[in-house]
Structure formats: structure tokens, C-alpha cells
Structure 1
Amino acid sequence: MRIKATQGKQGSGAEGKDATYVEAAGWGKYRWWRYVLGLVIIFFVGLVVGGIAIPRIAFLFGGQEALAAVNRLDYAALGLVGGFVAFRASFLFFLAGILIAVTLIHQRHPRTLVTAREKISWRRVGQGFVAWFVPVWLIAGLGQYFLYPDTFSFNFDLTTFALFVPIALIFVAIQTTTEELFFRGYIVQGASIVWSNRVFLALVPATIFALSHLLNPEASAGGWLTVFFNYFLVPGLVWTVVSLIDGTTELAIGVHFANNIGGNLLMGVAGSAVAGSAVTAPTLFTVSKFHATYTALSMLIVVPVFLAIAYGVFKQESPQSVSQSH
């Protein structure tokens, strides 16, 4: 059917109310079983199709040795750049699965995972990037350097770093955007079909996000502090809450990218998933030890500063035109 545009209002069932991306879950085809089917498609394309395709792509570029390395998840054997790309290639398939689920199963525009407006506000995405990048890398990053300078080492191979920067920008953007579309987009929208309570909508993706990262090396090294602060509370809960407040996932997309690109370009922890899991990215600085307590406690300062910048320095944008499939 033809897309109808209205000014700041949802076309049917919510006249007089500003539409949010959560309400967009009720557009198109939205019965509960469609979300279950959508999840099956997302994981099938991401895990099964991706699991079949990635080793074969590795074989084309690196022969039998690369194929064997990918099959045993030894990304370090592929080199810094090759291992980095191979580790994140699966997100391309997860992204494809999300797009298939939204367009074919729900029959609505993939943009509705981000906003109910006609266009995504890249300005708001950029604001999210700045609002998070500044406090997290000044407080959690620079502060850690002053407290534990002996654990920091500088990467003198600036040629490799310069070549790595554009690759990191592309693949980290794919990774973080895919995670946002899934956790704060698709999961929140699917949960809203069950119950529209905001506390429920905030807790569901936060819990799933934390559980999905339990196998990360940092979770084992940092214990419950890392799992609670660095996975459940901040990325999971805080970023979901700001998405519900904004009515879009634009801010969270920028925040997530700022968080991960810093860990892949500025300061990486040796052997951490932020730095590339089994392979370490050629960051400017490498930290030999993960300081779980400092990282967790620094979030108590980073989050308020982030909120002050996001909603004080930068103003939340007012709703504009939205699209509705009737």
C-alpha cells in the first residue's frame, strides 16, 4: 500500500499523539507470531547462512590456512586487519536478517526500527556520538591512564594504524548499528506487542543484551561488576531508556558507535572483545590489564555527564513527519 505522511502524528489508532518508533511496531503486520518468525529468520541468516558463508569467503582470500583459522575461531591467525574483519563479518548477515524480517514479515520500512519520522536525523545520531565519546574517553579512558600508567603501551606502528582507521570505521559502524536495530529496535518493538509498560520495555533488552555478552573476556575478568555496570546497566538499560525518552534509537546508535570505535582506535584492552575478541586491534594505546572496578565506577560519573550533554547542551528534536503503512 502507499505510504501516507502526516505531520508529527501517527496516522491511525493514535490521533493527536506524537508517534514514536515503539508505536511503529503496530504498523504493517504485527501479530506476535510474526515477531517470533522474525527472530527465527534473523538468527538463521546470521548464524547459519553467515556460518556457512564466512569460512568460504576466508578460503577465497587466504586459502586452506584461513579456512582452518576461521573454523577454530582463531582470528589472530588471520592478522590484525584480517582477523578484525572476519570477526565482524557475521554482523553483515545479522543485519541482512533484520532487514528481511522487517520488510517481508512485518511489511514496513526498516527505518521504523530507528524512528517513526520520514527521515532519520543524522544530527541526533551525531549528538549521541559526541555526548558519549567526550565523557567516556576523558573519564574512563584518560582517568585510567593517570591511575594506571604502567599498564599503558603506545602503538608506534602508525602506518598500520592509519590503514586500519577506515576499515574500523566501516565495520564498527555495521556492528554497533546492527546491535542497536536488534536490541533497542526489534526487541523493544516486539516486547511492546506483549506489554507497553516502559519499565518492562527497558528491562527486556537490557537483560538480553547482558546475557548475550556473558562470554566476552571482560565479563570473566571483571565478574559481576562488569556484567552489571558495563552490560546490563549502561549499554542495556541506560541506552534503552534514552531511546524510549527520545522516541527514536538515533541517540543510542551514535552512543554505541562512540563507545566501540574508541575501544578499537584509541584504547584497547589486550584480549578483550572490545578490541576484537581473539585478535587485538592496532589501537593507539593498549592496556595490558582490564581494571574492572575503575571502569564500572567511572560509569557513575560518565552517565550523568552524558545525559547533561545530550539533553542540556543538545536539545531533543521535536517530532516531524512520520510514515504509516495502512
Structure 2
Amino acid sequence: MYIEQGHRGDIGIWKYFLIPLGFIGLMILNYAVMKLLNLDIEAIMQAEIGRKGANRFLIEMLMPFVMGLALLFGWVKLIHRQTLTSLTTSRKRIDWGRILFSFILWSVLTIAITGIGIYLSPEEYVLNFRWEPFLYLFIIALFLIPIQTSFEEYLFRGYMMQGIGIMAKNRWVPLVVTSVLFGLMHLGNPEVEEMGPGIMVFYIGTGFFLGILTLMDDGLELALGFHAANNMISALLVTSEGTAFQVDAIYKSVVEPKLGFDVFVPVFIVFPILLFIYSKKYKWTDWKERLTGKVMSRETYLTKDIDGTHIQ
């Protein structure tokens, strides 16, 4: 079982607080400064993009995630003495096939959904494609965006899911806590300022979707693939002045962002369909136990593992 993989390292419950609290503290500080100084984030981003160029600005925006992922991996390896494999999955080795399947599935659906949207409402988009800037964007997206999404997955669905699950001794608490925190992390995004707090339903709903993927599949692989595809393909296809990724994408949305029914479609329609597809492919069963059941103690888990009665 995935959460119990945290027992394979040197737990030291206090160690689990430092990285999450540090990250969350930075997010709170950033949001507080933004509100107290009444900063116009969209205007600041536009000014920086005008001064540096969209691709350079994107690189600078993604570099903290590269350092964050390196710090998280180093902390897990050196302080917790836990392997990257056990942080990633309950399987004996990381299943790259799962990552690839999830990436391709959501990439194809994202391209299809976006294409349909452009076809049905062409007046809302303008062609923004330019070969050279797009090529640079593609290279950046290929190498850096998966690092950004992997950091978020390893922090929330990996490190925090295992740590909180071991402390709470059940599965539903880490599912709820990590999903809500994942959503709140996006409070500083321009979309929230443009659309209002209702957009948090999408972000928190996405957190629950990715958390359910992780617990049902006993590993991060499907969540890693989905999240990378979501951010990468979205960045390459469509940009607008009201999004976190303002880049040289193929199309640019020219409508004012607003909170509408389409924002809630992924959470209440698309994600349940995806869960059904994943469940059929990977033959998931016992949903209640996997999502709300108890977490084994360290002694029970390691004893079962040594005896060979713990099934990977």
C-alpha cells in the first residue's frame, strides 16, 4: 500500500513538517504581500514579459520548482533515508508505462477538447503561432514543466500524503488535507483574481482527483503523467493574459476570463469519466478501503513485508 511506503524510511514525524511548512509559509507570505500592497499581478507579469520576453520569463518562473524538487529529493534521501522508488510507488519499481499512458490519454483529450472549443467559438481565439518562439517554448515545456508538475505531485501526493497518512493512521485525512492545500496553493494565480474564489472549486477538485488516482493505484505514476500533460499541452496550445502561463502558444484567447459552467465541467464530469477509464484499465477494487481505510503501523507493515505476506 502506498502510504505505508513511508515506513521504509527513517520517519521522525518532526521531519515531515519542515518541508511542507516551509513551502506553505512561502505561499502564504507571497499571497499576503500581494494583498497588503494591492499588487496587480497581471500587470507586473505583462511588464516583465515585455522586458524579458515570454520564454525567459517562463524559465525564471519555473526554476524555483527545479530547485524545490532537488531539495525535496535530497531531504527524502539524506534525512528520511527513503528511496525515490518508495516515495513514488508501492510497486518494486517505478512503472513508466503508467506515466506514459496517463500522459498520452490526457494529452489527446486536452487537444480534442481545445480543438472543439476553437471550432465552436473561433471568435474567441486568434492564431498566435510563430515558429521560433514556439520552438523555444516547446523545448522549455518539454524539460521544465514536467519538473514543475513533478515537484507538486511529489510534495502533495507523495511526501505529504505519506507523512500525514502515517500520523493520522488513515487514508481520508491525507486525501482531504493535501487536496485542499493543493487548491489553496493556487490562490496567487492570476485566474483567481480574474474569476474570483469560485475557481478554487476547480483547483481543489483537481487535487481530489489526483489524490484519488494516487491512493487507488497505490502510486504516483498516473498523477505524474496526468499533471505533466495538463500543464504542458495547455501551455503549448492556448495562452491568455489571465493565466499563470503567458507564453508564445499556438492560440491566444481574446475573451475576458469569467467563471462559468465550463470551469466546473472537468471536476464533475471529465474527472469521474477519467477515473472510470483508469479503474477499468488497472482493475481497481475496494474503493472504500483504499480511500478511507486505516494505515498499517510501522511494525505491522514491515513484519508483513519481511514475511512476504505484504503484496506489492
TM-score by length of 2: 0.78
Question: Could you tell me which residue of structure 2 aligns to residue 15 of structure 1?
Answer: none
Instruction: Say which is worse superposed, 158-167 or 178-187, in terms of deviation.
Output: 158-167
Q: Distance in 2 between matches of 1:305 and 1:93?
A: 35
Q: Deviations over 1:216-262 (max 9, x none)?
A: 01112222331112x0012x101101100000010000000111012
**Paired position in structure 2 for 1:98:** 72
CA contact (8 A) 1:114 1:185 kept: yes
Instruction: Write the distance in 1 (CA, Å) between the matches of 2:16 and 2:96.
Output: 27
1:172-199 deviation per Cα after TM superposition (whole angstroms, max 9, x unaligned): 0110111100010011011112213222
Alignment check: 8 A CA contact 1:135 1:306 kept: no
- Is 1:190 equivalent to 2:163 in the alignment? yes
Quote the offset at 1:96 in angstroms: 1.6
Say whether 1:150 aligns with 2:123.
yes
**Where does the alignment leave 5 or more consecutive residues of structure 1 unmatched?**
1-19, 48-71
Tell me the distance in 1 between the aligned counterparts of 2:198 and 2:110.
17
Displacement of 1:105 after TM fit? Answer: 1.4
Residue 201 of structure 1, CA deviation? 1.8
> Deviations for 1:21-80, whole angstroms, at most 9, x for unmatched residues?
311111221121121234467789x99xxxxxxxxxxxxxxxxxxxxxxxx875412112
Quick check: 1:75–1:86 contact (8 Å CA) kept in 2?
A: no
Match in the other structure for 1:270: 241
In the alignment, the residues of structure 2 paired with residue 207 and residue 40 of structure 1 have an alpha-carbon distance, to the nearest angstrom, of 15
Task: Kindly provide the CA deviation profile for residues 114-172 of structure 1, in whole angstroms up to 9, marking residues without a partner as x.
Answer: 11333211100011112323334433x23432443212011231232123212211010
What count of residue pairs does the alignment treat as equivalent?
268
2:10 to 2, 8, 29: 29
Q: What percent identity do the matched residue pairs reach?
A: 29
User: For residues 53 and 135 of structure 2, what CA distance do their matches in structure 1 show?
Assistant: 16
Q: What pairs up with 1:206-217 in 2 under 5 angstroms?
A: 206-217=179-190
Establish whether residue 311 from structure 1 lines up as the match of residue 279 from structure 2: yes
**Offset at residue 305 of structure 1 (A):** 2.9
Contact 1:38 1:102 in 2 (8 A): no
1:282 aligned residue: 248
Letter of the structure 2 residue corresponding to residue 265 of structure 1: L
> Equivalences for 1:137-286 in 2 at 5 Å?
137-139=111-113, 141-229=114-202, 231-234=203-206, 236-273=207-244, 275=245, 280-286=246-252
* Structure 2: stretches of 5+ with no match in the other structure: 28-43, 286-301, 307-312
CA contact (8 A) 1:115 1:248 kept: yes
- The answer to whether the 8 A contact 2:110-2:233 is kept is no
Further displaced range: 93-102 or 32-41: 32-41
In 1, distance between residues paired with 2:135 and 2:141? 10
Question: Where is the helix percentage greater, Structure 1 or Structure 2?
Answer: 2
How far apart, CA to CA, are the structure 1 residues paired with 2:61 and 2:260? 28
- 2:204 aligned partner, one-letter code: F
Structure 2 counterpart of 1:301, from 269, 280, 290: 269
**Which stretch shifts more, 216-225 or 93-102?**
216-225
Distance 1:182 1:134 in 2: 27
Matches of 1:142 and 1:311 in 2, distance apart?
Answer: 27
Structure 2 vs 1, CA of residues 42 and 304 (structure 1 numbering), >3 Å: closer, same or farther?
closer
Sort the Cα spacing of 1:240 and 1:304 in 2 relative to 1 into closer, same or farther, 3 A: same
Residue 69 (structure 1) aligns with = none
SS at match of 1:213: helix
How far has the Cα of 1:286 moved from its partner? 1.2
> In the alignment, which residue of structure 2 is the partner of 1:292?
259
Report what 2:81 is aligned to: 107
CA pair 306-134 structure 1, distance change in 2 beyond 3 A: farther
Q: Specify whether residues 222 and 42 from structure 1 end up closer, same or farther in structure 2 by C-alpha distance, changes over 3 A only.
A: closer
Aligned equivalents of 1:253 and 1:150: distance in 2?
A: 34
SS at match of 2:74: helix
Asked whether the equivalents of residues 9 and 82 of structure 2 are also in contact (C-alpha less than 8 Å), the reply is yes
| 2:99 paired residue number | 125
Amino acid at match of 2:232: I
